[in-house]
């Protein structure tokens, strides 16, 4: 039963999507696929002016997690890293640093 569930998640691409950072138009767009149904598409857009920082969260252990968050005004945080193979510490730091530099915001750990 669990293998069927995992197969469907992969088939539906749940959690898959993209991040778009458009300096010319002044917005960031975060798109993700959800579970099939009325709300399958998750499509969020924010003004670049609302971005306060890029934050990196590192959780060590057996199930290590490395996540890059987009921190918006009002302390709202949106995860930017995708699902799948976890990135190495070097890769996550490089991506977060480049993104913070591109957006001209601070990088927090």
For the entire predicted model, the pTM comes to 0.82
What residue numbers bound the domain in which 12 lies? Answer: 2-108
User: Which pLDDT score is estimated for 84?
Assistant: 65
**Measured distance CA(6)–CA(57) in Å, rounded:** 26
Give the count of domains, the chain: 1
Helix/strand/coil for 1: coil
**Measured distance CA(2)–CA(66) in Å, rounded:** 25
Per-residue pLDDT reduced to its tens digit, 18-50: 999 999 999 999 999 888 989 999 999 999 999
Residue located via tokens 């001209």? 104
CATH of residue 15: 2.30.29
Residues 6+ apart with CB under 8 A from 56: 66, 67, 68, 69, 92, 93, 96, 107, 108, 109
């Amino acid at each position: 039963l669990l293998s069927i569930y995992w197969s469907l998640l992969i088939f539906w691409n749940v959690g898959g999507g993209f991040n778009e950072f458009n300096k010319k138009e002044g917005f960031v767009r975060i798109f993700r696929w959800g579970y099939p149904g009325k709300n399958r598409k998750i499509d969020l857009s924010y003004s670049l002016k609302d971005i306060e920082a890029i934050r990196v969260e590192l959780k060590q252990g057996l199930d290590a997690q490395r996540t890059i968050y987009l921190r918006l005004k009002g302390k709202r945080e949106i995860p930017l890293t995708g699902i799948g193979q976890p990135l190495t510490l070097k890769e996550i730091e490089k991506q977060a640093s480049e993104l913070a530099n591109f957006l001209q915001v601070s990088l927090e750990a």
